[in-house]
Amino acid sequence: MPTDLPDARSAQSNDSTFPSLWDELVWRGLVHVSTDEAELARLLDGEPITYYCGFDPTAPSLHLGNLVQLLLMRRLQLAGHRPLALVGGSTGLIGDPKPSAERTLNTKETVAEWVGYLQAQVSRFLSAEGNNGVTLVNNLDWTAPLSAIDFLRDIGKHFRVGAMLKKDAVSARLNSDAGISYTEFSYQILQGMDFLQLYRDYGCVLQSGGSDQWGNLTSGIDLVRRVEGVSVHAIGTPLITNSDGTKFGKSEGNAVWLDPALTSPYAMYQFWLNTDDADVVARLKVFTFLSREEIERLGQAVEQEPFKREAQRRLALEVTTLVHGREETEAAIAASAALFGQGELADLDERTLTAALGELPSTTASPDAHVTQLLVETGLTSSLGESRRALAQGGVYINNVKLTDDAVLGDHLLHGRHAVLRRGKRTLAGVTVSA
């Protein structure tokens, strides 16, 4: 865990220029659907309440979609409310229904291991200090001791099958060739039971989650009302998509993970740096603690001087720092600059350099390989003849050194095994000496 993340938390704050916390949440685009808005606005501006959000360990890391929830939780905590972060040791054994097909069930040992990973990640974003420090909970603690008979008698009797069938995820699966198993059909009951248990144990009155989870969120609301006779609340955040309608947070089919072993700080920085002009202001609102005044100023910069990409660079700086810390972010920025000739590649540590090369077209080669051939193998040229012409024209670089003649790879290695090829100003590829 980066050591500067707790210091970053101390600098975070909500924007006092808004008349209420609810107004700021709405302005930032964090509310897509909710229970009674007026009552929620009153609750959030009143005495501290207890709220929760659940994260299922269906993978060894959280991703950018989960980060939306963590930042909403942090904003509520900054306002004085008490967060419960639930990592679902029991719901993670099942997984909420996907629209298309049954999930592959992970082993109990794997899920238990992932619970620990996710708890550690959640703890980086929410403070454990003070009267409203985060409390970590695991729903396996109250579901594991429960027998099937008790579950059906005490919980299942409060759910109506007709209402369960109307939930979006369930109805989508019922209308598909895959159908839905009773296991996944029962997921909404388990999640509803979480809200009831947390209400009883902690007085929890608010749950947040993605808007695609709204059916599961309302299951908990209904269960608490039926069993305890009280009204509790939910906020569904929007599913963030790009301006062209594509799913946000996906890069060539892979999620952008918060674990640096799965998505490096360099890759995360580049992801945010490549944000489209049409999306960057919305991303700044959701994913940063910048003030409304600063975000509006950056929005004007996008309109007036989009070529400077000031908003994108600030977004990449803020979010990568939030997730990985200042030191890792500065290393990613240095790598980005050095790759394009604005810094010394030799000054980059091997881990950062390797992460950067992992985002480029690349090949492996022996030390005696020639640059002309490597240009072809990495796709920077289409033939040896084109490689020779590019060299003669002075448009080929290895580790930011301009070449005019062919060269041998082994004479230009970083850390004894890497090289960066560049054609022109911005077309890059990586080469690593084969083992």
As given in the structure block, the two tokens for residue 183 are 């296991």
Binned at pLDDT 50, 70 and 90, residue 249 comes out as low
Residues 6+ apart with CB under 8 A from 23: 41
- What pTM does this model have? 0.91
pLDDT digits 0-9 by tens, 105-159: 899 999 999 999 999 999 999 999 999 999 999 999 999 999 999 999 999 999 8
Q: Please say if the pLDDT value at position 430 is more than 90.
A: yes
Binned at pLDDT 50, 70 and 90, residue 2 comes out as low
Phi and psi (nearest 5°) for 423? -115, 125
What is the rounded distance in angstroms from the CA atom of residue 319 to the CA atom of residue 337? 18
- What the chain holds in terms of domains, given with CATH numbers, is 5-239 (3.40.50.620), 242-349 (1.10.240.10), 360-435 (3.10.290.10)
How many Cα atoms are found within 13 Å in the side-chain-facing hemisphere of 402? 8
Q: Please say if the pLDDT value at position 245 is more than 80.
A: no
Q: Please say if the pLDDT value at position 259 is more than 90.
A: yes
Binned at pLDDT 50, 70 and 90, residue 7 comes out as low
Question: How many angstroms separate the Cα of 112 from the Cα of each of 1, 85, 288?
Answer: 20, 16, 31
pLDDT digits 0-9 by tens, 354-405: 999 999 999 999 999 999 999 999 999 999 999 999 999 999 999 999 998 9
**204-210 and 50-55 beta bridge pairing:** parallel
In contact, 216 and 209? CB cutoff 8 Å: yes
Q: What is the percentage of the chain residues whose pLDDT exceeds 90?
A: 78
Q: Which amino acid is located at 263 in the chain?
A: T
Give the per-residue pLDDT at 252: 47
What is the rounded distance in angstroms from the CA atom of residue 358 to the CA atom of residue 42? 49
Residues 6+ apart with CB under 8 A from 178: 100, 101, 102
Give the per-residue pLDDT at 291: 97
Mean pLDDT, the chain, rounded, equals 92
What is the rounded distance in angstroms from the CA atom of residue 341 to the CA atom of residue 345? 8
Exposure string over 233-249, b if 16+ CB within 10 A, otherwise e: bbbbbbebebeeeeebb
